[in-house]
Amino acid sequence: MLEVKNLHVTVDGKPILKGLDLSVGAGEVHAIMGPNGSGKSTLAYVLAGRDGYEVTEGSILYQGRDLLELSPEERARDGIFLAFQYPVEIPGVATTSFLKTAVNAVRKHRGEPELDAMEFMKLMREKRNLLGIGEEMLRRSLNVGFSGGEKKRTEVLQMALLDPKLAVLDETDSGLDIDALKVVADGVNALRSPDRSMVLITHYQRLLNYIVPDRVHVLAGGRIAKSGGKELALQLEKEGYGAFVAKAAESAGAAA
């Protein structure tokens, strides 16, 4: 599904990712854990195609295609979904009509018929009930006046509507209390399927109690410092990132 090889990325001329390798198979859930500043969000943005994240070396293959050639909208239509750490508030854009536009842009690309208002509302009702999102919330402007939890739930709702093949969830657990976290995690778990892969980016192990990953990777100093099964997360929770950060600094020093 996703093959990242020796990925080097600079932001404003500053190297952030320095030779990252990652391989995610179909239907797998991978967790990327790491301290602040290790490059987690950079990885998320590079996968989604944000301007200003310059790939200086390496490659990303998605379903066997060169992902880096595609614009953000092409990636989205081809099944990549990024759940934002900080969903952008856009006053004046009605949430429902935005979601309908997005769903139909993706459907059109897949050669599926576009949904009319009635069909869309039916789909929406089905998905939002799953996440406990009230109709009232969707009448507001996109993310405007939403609490942290409401924003994250709406991200997962968008994911459910857009039906991606590869979902990247960037700190979807941050800023959530335990009840909100359960709702969001249940929503994500309901979307797990053999033909949908997920990359969970998180600072804390907590999320992984609810969404159990197949693989866990530690990102430190712009590279994957260690990979393992779900038990690696528990080890990190106990021991912290200190050892990895020190090692990353060491190898960077050696490389220099």
Which positions lie near other proteins, rule CB under 8 A? 48-51, 71-73, 75-77, 81-82, 84, 87-88, 90-93, 98, 101-102, 105-106, 109, 141, 158, 162
Shortest Cβ distance from residue 106 to other proteins (Å)?
5
Nearer to other proteins among residue 11 and residue 243 (C-beta) = 11
Burial of 209 per CB tally in 10 Å (0-12, 13-18, 19+): middle
Nearer to other proteins among residue 23 and residue 141 (C-beta) = 141
Nearer to other proteins among residue 77 and residue 215 (C-beta) = 77
Shortest Cβ distance from residue 221 to other proteins (Å)?
26
Tokens of 48: 């989604």
8 A C-beta contact, residue 226 and residue 218: yes
Shortest Cβ distance from residue 36 to other proteins (Å)?
20
Nearer to other proteins among residue 4 and residue 47 (C-beta) = 47
> At a CB cut-off of 8 Å and minimum separation 6, what does 97 contact?
none
- Distance CA(62)–CA(60), nearest Å, equals 7
Shortest Cβ distance from residue 105 to other proteins (Å)?
4
Nearer to other proteins among residue 41 and residue 205 (C-beta) = 41
Q: 3-class secondary structure for 83-113?
A: ECCCCCCEEEEEHHHHHHHHHHHHHHHCCCC
Nearer to other proteins among residue 50 and residue 247 (C-beta) = 50
User: Residue 220 corresponds to which amino acid?
Assistant: A
- Distance CA(1)–CA(64), nearest Å, equals 7
Shortest Cβ distance from residue 50 to other proteins (Å)?
5
If phi > 0 it is left, if psi is from -120 to 50 it is alpha, else beta; for residue 126 that is alpha
Shortest Cβ distance from residue 74 to other proteins (Å)?
9
